Structure 1
């Protein structure tokens, strides 16, 4: 390139000399014109060599571009990590589009709901709680992976390749931080059940499960899950052996008695008109609540879930004393008028 510039400069100088010396001898003029022509020829030759070199370099970059085309990288927007690399060509995007889309849909479902080997992105809300010091103990927000949207994005990117972010919907609890300290001001609903406190195992299980739901904040729109909130009712977590209903019979089992807590909770929140997401009855009649006013649970199986479909957040309080279990629904004085008790 430097040589081309140098020759061009020489050519310009020679041209100027030719112009200023037009009145001199013809022989010199012809000699100068010959040199100018030779310089122009050298410049043209150098340009052709440069263009040829550029063309020869282009094919070397092309295979790398072709190798990357069509590959789809799926990214977790919370960590910006690539969680899956999809090669549409290998998976039959061109040869069998229907089978390819079905496989992507199956993968998206497993990514959302989880498998035996891996946890899914769908996560139930673990509610916030007020601690003994009056401060809020943060739980976990509800997270949903939008399966249909994910499939659509992957299919759209499969033609040329690219990056696709997981379409995650993350929902925080529906209350304002400044409301938390006031949610225990007034009781809007409560329910009490009785149990035999002399039965040690059952009493302990009721106490532990009641403690788990005590001081839990349920914001507007929140979905409360008994199993998620209470956790495993096993010996490792302090639960003891007691009678529980299984297939229409009362048998001994670790954690027997926690269904009294879930049923008492059900009868308390039912008074304020929440919406039920999941609710099941026992296979036998239980004596602590009227018929069909129970809500049975089993960690990893049946759950009691409801959504706060009211217009205000509330606080759950649970007390165990002298063979009785009481669950209260409380809120602030400012929100009290928003609850209609049934």
Structure 2
């Protein structure tokens, strides 16, 4: 009996020792096993990172966007002519000052500066030579300043490409009408001069030749200074009396105002619109008072626009003591000039 009791105590002791070992092993396993091992669910789970195994989070570097840039393009050549950044001109700081700078930029681009010509060009009208052959001139070219300013302002927020708003106007006549433009005289005017005043008369003759056989199409702009050009010795002009500040003084080209004034009195019989005309400071004698048109190259000009829907031809007839300007057109256009 005693032996059986001792044996039973020994077996129970072994059982308790085994339970303690299993408990220790289980506690050790809890701290090292993955969730998949400790909770067999049939699914693979991602192990959780401990503080010692977490990777550092990368910092995102913010790169600022570049400032908007405006590129100005000439659409006739597709060339880049100017680049600027609005923010550098104060777009975000002082909008009024920014607009003023853009307006000045557009003005200089259109009209030019002392050292650089602008885009604007007066029309050089077509003409006929002594044999009736056509001599081509140049179209009227205008850079629309206000439109350019509007386009730049629209592009100032995000930048981009701005095309110059260039307007090109060709002479308004049909080439088929050229051979008929001298059919009918619709206006004429004659002035007279002293045949003995050789130098002055030479200047009248040269300027009359310059405007002879000029074609003025519908809507065309005529500029006396553009057509005649510089009045200097290189072009054959002579020193002769001219009126400056109510006084007669000697100057190269004196007398050409008789040509411009004779032309005025001829075209004044037509439906034309005057763009520029000036009076002499004193009476000149060869036209009635107030019926003159004084000019000076690089200064005062005589300019008009053909406001009819038909072209006409200017013919200048220089005689021994007279100058006649005739305005002619094709017979089918006569009604437009009445």
Instruction: Give the TM-score category using the shorter length.
Output: 0.7 to 0.9
Q: For the pair shown, which has the larger CA radius of gyration, 1 or 2?
A: 2
Cα displacement (A) at 1:197: 2.1
Residue 3 (structure 1) aligns with:
none
Note the alpha carbon deviations across 1:175-201, whole angstroms, 9 max, x for none: 111111211111111111111122111
The counterpart of 1:85, out of the listed 83, 86, 93, is 83
Name the residue aligned to 2:4: none
Inter-partner Cα distance in structure 1 for 2:292 and 2:88: 53
Say how many residue pairs are matched.
Answer: 282
| Bigger Cα displacement from structure 2, 224-233 vs 84-93 | 84-93
Counterpart of 2:153 in structure 1 is: 155
TM-score (norm. length: structure 1) = 0.79
Which residue pairs with 2:229 in the alignment? 231
Aligned to 1:180: 178
Tell me if 1:108 matches 2:106. yes
User: Deviations along 1:114-169, whole A, 9 cap, x unmatched?
Assistant: 11111111111110111223221111111111111101111111111111110011
CA distance in 1, matches of 2:133, 2:314: 15
> RMSD in angstroms over aligned alpha carbons?
1.9
Q: Who is 1:130 aligned against?
A: 128
Structure 1 counterpart of 2:69:
71
Q: Which moved further from structure 2: 165-174 or 95-104?
A: 95-104
Cα deviations across residues 178-233 of structure 1 (Å, max 9, x unaligned)?
11121111111111111112211101100110011000000111111101111111
Q: 2:300 aligns with which of 296, 299, 302?
A: 302
**Does 1:140 pair with 2:153?**
no
2:313 maps to which residue?
A: 315
Counterpart-to-counterpart distance in 2, 1:273 and 1:251: 36
Q: Match of 2:191?
A: 193
Shift of residue 59, structure 1, vs aligned partner = 8.6
The residue that corresponds to 2:271 in the other structure is: 273
2: CA distance between counterparts of 1:209 and 1:59?
A: 74
Return the alpha-carbon distance in structure 1 between the equivalents of residues 130 and 69 of structure 2. Answer: 52
Distance in 1 (alpha carbons) for counterparts of 2:70 and 2:216: 40
1:94 Cα deviation from its structure 2 partner: 1.5
Q: Tell me the secondary structure at the aligned position of residue 151 of structure 1.
A: helix
Q: Which runs of 4+ in 1 moved over 3 A?
A: none
Structure 2 unpaired stretches of 5+: 1-43, 45-59
* Matches for 1:198-237 after TM superposition, within 5 Å: 198-237=196-235
| 1:333 match | 331
Give 1 or 2: higher helix fraction. 1
**Structure 1 stretches of 5 or more lacking a match?**
1-36, 38-57
CA distance in 1, matches of 2:195, 2:284: 17
Secondary structure of 1:90 counterpart = helix
In the superposition, the TM-score normalised over structure 2's length comes to 0.80
